[in-house]
Amino acid sequence: MAIADPRPARRIVDPVLMRELADAGQSGRLPCLVCAERYTEPHHVRLKSQGGDDVEDNIVFLCKRCHGAYHGSPYVPESGFPARVDAGWVRFRLARYLESDKGQHVRAYLVGKMGRGAADVYLKREFGIQS
Ligand SMILES: [Zn+2]
Ligand SMILES: [Zn+2]
């Protein structure tokens, strides 16, 4: 096993892309992965706080409620909205996405960013995915 490089990998920051992705989410064409609400926000699968990059392969689209729930905001039920939205449910739905063919580009990004072993640990810890 290689000795870990103590320097953290430089994080890619791209405010222009993030503005474009925010606009795309607001276009109504990229529905929420969890609840299919039309208007969404970009969410980093590998969290920014953990070194996740502003690259499309690290981004999924969640509506404001599901996004807030993932990040721990209290969920306020409203008529017509599914009652099960909490952080655990959002993680579960994201896990199913990451395991599907559509999510493979995100997993490839994580492996490229972190290496296979660390990516597997992250997927298990964050999403409960067994490799
Ligand atoms: Zn949603
Ligand atoms: Zn987020």
27-74 pLDDT, tens per residue?
999 999 998 999 999 999 999 998 999 999 999 999 998 999 999 886
Strands annotated E in the chain: 41-44, 59-62
Q: Where are the domains of the chain?
A: 15-127
- Cα 38 to averaged position of ligand 1 atoms, centre (Å): 8
Task: Give the pLDDT confidence score for residue 76 in this predicted structure.
Answer: 63
CA distances from 14 to 48, 58, 63, 110 (A): 12, 12, 21, 18
Is the confidence at residue 1, as pLDDT, over 60? Answer: no
- Cα 22 to averaged position of ligand 2 atoms, centre (Å): 12
In this prediction the pTM is 0.86
